[in-house]
Amino acid sequence: MSKNIPHLVQYQGSKRILAPQILSYMPRRIKRLVEPFSGMAAITIAAAAEMRANQYHLNDLNAPLIALLQEAIEKPTELLNEYSRIWKDQFCYKDDHVQHFYFVREKFNNGEESPANMLYLLARCVKGAVRYGKNGKFNQSPDKRRHGMTPQKLEQNLAMLSSLLKGKTFFSSLDYREILENAKPGDLIYMDPPYQGVSNVRDNRYFAGVSFDDFAKSIEVLDRKGVDYLISYDGMCGEKGYGRDLPSTLNCSKVLLNAGCSSQATLMGQHKVTYEALYFSDSLKKHFVSVGQLPLWEKIA
């Protein structure tokens, strides 16, 4: 895979680094790739760079995020112009770029949820992490060390992103279960739901929790319809595992992908490798391409 894959922001939880490993479990050609929990669409972008699918469907319950992706792909020049204006304003806002971030955040929370405002907040906020309070307001703080992606760099990424996906992508902001109910054979569904640690509670990335049991039932729907899927779902760090395995009644298998050394463990003077779990529908096995030394395999028992 080319290293020159466009992206809009450093987005917490993004699968951009793991994308080459995840794509190795996909068919070379797909009718339609669907992401019900798209985030910043790292897998869709990586797949488009390899011309894997004829069509793409990006969905996320976070409507401003989807609006941002849609404008980036369909109207990149408009997004660039508006973002550039906001980005430059931070250098003359009362001599305090941090206060400028809070000014834009307040506008966003008061209804000005424009794609450019969303992009600026993501570009400037700590760890590129979307966070919302109980009142539904964006409440993440700014990274005081950074000013966000420059308009010059953004222009390059927008041009590449739009060339890959314009005219091929459908956008929506629906509950993931509705997306899966409408899936058809020939689709490939890639899902990266919220961590199980926030299941059954309000998740500040997706506005609503994702119940483990409801999620498992929704995968049963795909099994019955014969729709292929890939699911990123927790994993392990060192000897410690995170989350429950998906039920053995599902027609899928599990692999652990090497995500590199844990940054948190490194800060504590420890060396621990993080593995992220990837589940795949069993019918996908015939499409696997060689990825060199295979990671840890496990059939769900």
Q: How many CA atoms lie within 13 A of 155 on its CB side?
A: 8
**pLDDT of residue 223 exceeding 90:** yes
In CATH terms, 70-157 corresponds, of 2.40.280.10, 1.10.1020.10, 3.40.50.1970, 3.40.630.10, to: 1.10.1020.10
Domain-wise residue ranges, the chain? 19-61+174-298, 70-157
**pLDDT of residue 282 exceeding 80:** yes
| Digit-coded pLDDT (tens) for 135-181 | 889 999 999 988 999 999 999 999 999 999 999 999 999 999 999 99
- The Cα 206–Cα 187 span in angstroms is 23
Helix (H, G, I), strand (E, B) or coil at 95: coil
The answer as to CATH 3.40.1010.10 being correct for domain 19-61+174-298 is: no
**pLDDT of residue 201 exceeding 50:** no
**pLDDT of residue 260 exceeding 60:** yes
Q: Provide the pLDDT for residue 3.
A: 56
pTM exceeds cut of 0.85: yes
Average pLDDT of span 73-84:
98
Angle, helices 63-74/76-89, rounded to nearest 10 degrees: 110
**pLDDT of residue 296 exceeding 90:** no
Please give the C-alpha separations between residue 235 and each of 35, 88, 246, in angstroms, as whole numbers. Answer: 20, 41, 12
**pLDDT of residue 84 exceeding 50:** yes
Q: What angle do CA 9, 10, 13 make, to 5 degrees?
A: 125
Helix (H, G, I), strand (E, B) or coil at 229: strand
**pLDDT of residue 271 exceeding 60:** no
**pLDDT of residue 294 exceeding 70:** no
| Digit-coded pLDDT (tens) for 232-252 | 988 777 666 677 889 999 999
| Average pLDDT taken over every residue of the chain | 85
Amino acid sitting at position 31: K
- The Cα 72–Cα 221 span in angstroms is 32
66, with CB counted inside 10 A (0-12, 13-18, 19+), is buried
How would residue 268 be classed by pLDDT, with cut points 50, 70 and 90?
A: very low
- The Cα 220–Cα 250 span in angstroms is 6
Q: Provide the pLDDT for residue 199.
A: 44
